[in-house]
Amino acid sequence: MPVSDHQMIEAWRKVLRLSRLEPGQTVTILTSAATHPQTLSTALTATQSMGAIVNRLDLPPVNGEKALSRDALAYLGTTPLTGNPAAIAALKASDLVLDLMTLLFSPEQHEILQGGTRILLAVEPPEVLARMVPCEADRERVKAASQRLADAQEMQVISPAGTNLRCPLGEFPAISEYGFVDEPGRWDHWPSGFALTWPNEGAAYGTIVLDQGDILLPQKTYVTEPIRLTVEAGFATRIEGGLHAELLSEYMASFNDPEAYAISHIGWGLQPRAHWSTLGLYDREATIGMDARAFEGNFLFSLGPNNEAGGHRTTACHIDIPVRRCTVRLDGVDMVTAGKVTDGFRYPEDKS
């Protein structure tokens, strides 16, 4: 159901206040061919109404001829900033960048962040943004979970379907995604709500079994039959099962890159306003599936790059897989038990 411009402007103002936007700061809104017009128009109104100096930088799309899907996360090669020093300079000169294009997994993004610019990604449909406007409680909850990850030496994940994965930790940082950018050099994604890290390079091992209702992204598909992934020395060495296993294998093989099979980020969803079932209610091209990534109690793991965490894998293939009904343990202590988060966190009555 559509939301009004008034609702979206108010949603933007809440997020911008949480992101510490102040009068006189420079905001650059990064757009491309797939930018939602209502998201753009309301962002322009909200930033200007808060006294910001506002620019729009519109860049042409890239990689369309290489990707097998129109999803912005289906191919993570070069970006519209690659070899574009003028655009990079404009973004580095900004206090805040609102990314309505999807600039991810790129050295250019790292360069911009290192200069202190804050970057907020917002590419979901307006009604999804309005439903999952972040709040301070989201930050509190996600930061607490990230601290647990930062202090842990091992994550173990088990499930009734047969998952038994062990991931030694400590080589890479723990990341908090709570939907706003309140510190210099911070990147985040509205909407979100999860804690994540990466296993030590080449160290994850065990078995992951995807069961009915688990989700493949960017395929945006609910699994209807088991898929079994064997993980050895940090890589998925076998993908076994029926049709969905074949589709996943063929898709990944199309990149012709062994690094696509590496275990990438691992963590769990903490957003109660996200819903597992929502993916089935949208056209596949209307959403990138943030409900699926963030819904409370999922085990979210990824295959592919780790350069977002300071690693060296820059493969163009990136698969996110939210898994239900898992138990996630850090050093033997449950963070999630059978798909239920165990932190006992209670949101204030007003979640806005």
Look at residue 46 and give its three-state secondary structure: helix
Q: Taking a C-beta distance cutoff of 8 angstroms, is the pair 234, 203 a contact?
A: yes
Which one of 131, 151, 186 terminates a domain? 131
Q: What is the pLDDT of residue 312?
A: 81
**Does residue 141 surpass a pLDDT of 60?**
yes
Which one of 131, 160, 179 terminates a domain? 131
Residues 143 and 278 in one domain: yes
Residue 296 lies in a domain: yes
Distance between CA atoms of residues 89 and 191, nearest Å = 27
Residues 143 and 199 in one domain: yes
Residues 114 and 145 in one domain: no
Average pLDDT over residues 154-168: 98
Residues 46 and 116 in one domain: yes
Domain CATH for 113: 3.40.50.2300
Q: Taking a C-beta distance cutoff of 8 angstroms, is the pair 44, 28 a contact?
A: no
Q: Taking a C-beta distance cutoff of 8 angstroms, is the pair 161, 229 a contact?
A: no
pLDDT tens digit sequence for 291-327 = 999 999 999 999 998 877 778 888 889 999 999 999 9
Q: What is the pLDDT of residue 279?
A: 94
Higher pLDDT, 109 or 276: 276
Residue 277 lies in a domain: yes
**Does residue 132 surpass a pLDDT of 60?**
yes
Residues 164 and 85 in one domain: no
Mean pLDDT of the chain, nearest integer: 94
Q: What is the pLDDT of residue 352?
A: 46
Residue 337 lies in a domain: yes
Residue 227 lies in a domain: yes
What is the domain extent for residue 196? Answer: 136-341
Average pLDDT over residues 153-168: 98
Q: What is the pLDDT of residue 350?
A: 65
**Does residue 346 surpass a pLDDT of 80?**
yes
pLDDT tens digit sequence for 178-201 = 999 999 999 999 999 999 999 999
Q: What is the pLDDT of residue 227?
A: 98
pLDDT tens digit sequence for 89-112 = 999 999 999 999 998 778 888 899
Residues 38 and 164 in one domain: no
**Does residue 351 surpass a pLDDT of 60?**
no
What token pair was written down for 316?
């163009």
Distance between CA atoms of residues 187 and 61, nearest Å = 21
Residues 126 and 144 in one domain: no
Q: What is the pLDDT of residue 44?
A: 98
Which one of 88, 103, 131 terminates a domain? 131
Q: What is the pLDDT of residue 308?
A: 78
Residues 173 and 295 in one domain: yes
Residue 311 lies in a domain: yes
Residue 328 lies in a domain: yes
**Candidate from 16-30, 255-269, 272-286 with smallest mean pLDDT:** 272-286
Residues 65 and 189 in one domain: no
Residue 230 lies in a domain: yes
Q: What is the pLDDT of residue 5?
A: 98
Residues 174 and 49 in one domain: no
Instruction: Give me the number of domains the chain comprises.
Output: 2
Scored b (16 or more CB within 10 A) or e, 184-216 reads: eebbbbbbbbbbbbbbbbebbbbbbbbbeebbb
Residues 148 and 118 in one domain: no
Look at residue 180 and give its three-state secondary structure: coil
Residue 348 lies in a domain: no
Residues 182 and 258 in one domain: yes
CA-closest candidate to residue 100, choices 159, 167, 55: 55
